[in-house]
Amino acid sequence: MLYKVANGENVDLGKKVAVVGGGNTAIDAVRTAVRLGAENVTLIYRRTESEMPAEKDEIKDAKEEGVNFKFLVAPLNVVTENGKVKGINLQKMELGEPDASGRRSPVAVPDSHFMIDADVVIMSLGTSPNPLIAQTTPGLERNRKGGLVASEDGATTREGVFAGGDAVTGAATVILAMGAGKKAAAAIDAY
């Protein structure tokens, strides 16, 4: 799917988009992908629909727009070939016993790995750096607060992987995340 950006260049946004997360930002990402012309958009969430923090009306609207939902699955790693995303390996989950707060944590189902095709994977996992990103992507270093180590232009410690916003700084403003995104986009283009 080609999308013309502000400077007039075409950017290939992919035809098969996978978004990992269950909050409002994840829902915004899947609905935007549909509106930009992705042919297959899947939201991946490790708990059930009833536990998603996203607004219920937004979830309903995303379903009506054609978004596929995969509940009780967690990402293991992103599959790449020749530097391009080919898919995402997932593992089925089940809900364990409630913790002190009453929330049931997802528990991996043994021998339940499977892959879905994707040419774009968006990790939408909250405002604090999620350790899953560094754990599933070898070569990414984290700082003492758990954020990804990245240069001023967003280059991480793994060649060809760029990051910015909350994944690097921790919770911050949208403006700072947008600025980091613009810097990283320029660095990705130069790369």
- DSSP track, 111-163: EEEEEEE-SEEEE---SSPPHHHHHHSTT--B-TTSPBPB-TT-BBSSTT-B-
> How many C-beta atoms surround the C-beta of residue 178 within 10 A?
12
Give this prediction's pTM.
0.68
63-67, 96-100, 147-151, range with greatest mean pLDDT: 63-67
Beta bridge partners of 10: 4
Residue 49 DSSP one-character state: G
What distances in angstroms separate CA 75 from CA 113, 147, 152, 188, one per listed residue? 9, 19, 28, 24
Q: Which residue has the tokens 């509940």?
A: 71
pLDDT tens column, 29-55: 999 999 988 999 999 999 999 999 899
